Copies of this chain bind each other. A is one copy, B any other.
Amino acid sequence: MEQFNIYIKNNAERFIEELKEFCRQPSISTQNVGLEEMAELVRARLERLGAEVRLIPVDDGPPLVFAELGQGERTLLIYNHYDVQPPDPLEEWESPPFEPTIREGKFYARGAADNKGNLVARIQAIEAYQAAVGELPLRIKFVVEGEEETGSPHLAQFVQENRDFLAADGCLWESGGKDEAERFVLYLGLKGIAYLELRARGAKSDLHSSLATIVPNPAWRLVWALSTLKDKDDHITIDGFMDHVAEPTPAEMNMLEAIPFEEEKIKENFGIPAFIRGLSGVEALKKHLYEPTCTICGFKSGYIEEGSKTVLPSTATVKLDFRLVPNLTPELVERLLRQHLDRWGFEDIEIIAGVGEHSARAPLDAPIVQAAIAAAEAVYGHKPVIYPTMAGSGPMYPLSEALGIPAVLAGIGYPGANVHAPNENIRLADYFEGIRFIRELMRRFGEE
């Protein structure tokens, strides 16, 4: 351990310079900016570790970077992405997004937290291990994609076509970090998601609202249809939907009980008097992590500007986002919703399917989870907070559950990181702690 830490210390400046180099290269997937150049930077850096690296082309998209190195009984799959969110609004950045700047111990740049900081810290941890400790105690496979911020449209297909060389015993997901009280957090999964748009149509064009007596109104059609999907107490009432939702086991309830949940602070931050159903404590957490959602993300119909216009709308659309727990797949949700709408007399309402992702969860006793817990205790000096899942979603399923590989989320972030926002940053102290965490994780996962 001493040698490792000394190596880190001696190379700290170069390490930061390397991260700056990554962050100077714009790589905005939604705008198709700088992605090829960024993939080359990732390839070159991984090759300097001695890894065998391949750029895997995808149709109409930036290449996936796949790399392998090390030998051992166990294999660790590491998932990261080299693309970033657009930097807008530019005027809110205190220093330019692609000119990395250090102020008061914080490293500011687009991608610093999401996700280049995590990627570079992991690479540098491996370099330091090789230089200061010796040969890696396990085999490592990197999957670094360039389309995470646009919904990973090619990841599932890549996995499908390359199942064999992706085989691994555990997976370290892209990110993670500390909570408001500086506790290190591990997440053991992600919810799935189904994004569906519902559309209703009335007359062929907007009409004078005096005709609403006899001409059907698509906005009302959607309101009536939606009101059958979820009741006023936020229970999803789509026929058969909740049959697929499992209650947490006693062991999972124990995990929930151990999660610190500062509900008053959260309510104050959001400016709300109470949570849904007036829930509190572990019951609120249970709903948050173990229940699916059916959320109106957007509703548009008719005249939506200031003032009044007496119009009978010809169309109405609603965007629905379902966050999915295990057993609820995007395909199942779309099918249940179609059947429900038909049964309730809303055959006329069209469903347009958008993004879909399956949920993924690792069991608490998976070796990668246990190794991450032990590594966190060693580096951070306390038991990590363990979430059975995040409430959010991501493309974890194809690389984890679909391949039988348990995955854990751990990283160098913190609540002030401004992910997807102006002034994205990481704290340098977190960064170097994160490098030590990766060293401990490799050791414990590889040697135990």
Mark A residues whose CB is within 8 Å of B: 191, 193, 195, 197, 202-205, 207-217, 219-220, 223-224, 226-227, 230-232, 234, 270-272, 275-276, 279, 284, 287-289, 291, 293, 295-304, 307-313, 316-317, 319, 321, 323, 345, 354-355, 390-393
- Interchain CB contact (< 8 A) of A213 among B219, B297, B391: B391
**A121 CB to nearest chain B CB (Å):** 25
Contact B209 A310 (CB under 8 A): no
Identical subunits present: 2
**Besides A297-B308, A309-B319, 15 new A-B residue pairs in contact (Cβ under 8 A), listed by A number:** A195-B310, A209-B293, A214-B284, A215-B270, A220-B296, A223-B223, A223-B296, A224-B227, A296-B302, A298-B311, A299-B300, A299-B302, A300-B300, A300-B304, A310-B393
Chain B's closest residue to A206 (CB) is B297
Contact B303 A308 (CB under 8 A): no
Contact B297 A309 (CB under 8 A): yes
For A390, list chain B residues within 8 Å (CB).
Answer: 210
Contact A224 B214 (CB under 8 A): no
Contact A308 B355 (CB under 8 A): yes
CA–CA, A10 to B324, complex, Å? Answer: 81
Chain B's closest residue to A390 (CB) is B210
Contact B227 A297 (CB under 8 A): no
CA–CA, A216 to B272, complex, Å? Answer: 8
**A339 CB to nearest chain B CB (Å):** 18
- With contact pairs A223-B226, A288-B213, A304-B304 given, residues A309 and B298 touching in the complex (Cβ less than 8 Å): yes
CA–CA, A270 to B208, complex, Å? Answer: 11
Can you show 19 pairs from A to B with CB atoms below 8 A apart? A204-B271, A209-B323, A210-B391, A211-B288, A211-B391, A213-B289, A213-B291, A215-B275, A220-B226, A220-B296, A224-B231, A297-B308, A297-B310, A300-B300, A300-B304, A303-B319, A308-B319, A308-B355, A310-B393
Contact B272 A212 (CB under 8 A): no
For A291, list chain B residues within 8 Å (CB).
Answer: 213
Contact B355 A214 (CB under 8 A): no
Contact B216 A295 (CB under 8 A): no
CA–CA, A355 to B226, complex, Å? Answer: 29
Contact A298 B293 (CB under 8 A): no
For A208, list chain B residues within 8 Å (CB).
Answer: 392
**A29 CB to nearest chain B CB (Å):** 14
Contact A288 B195 (CB under 8 A): no
CA–CA, A300 to B215, complex, Å? Answer: 21
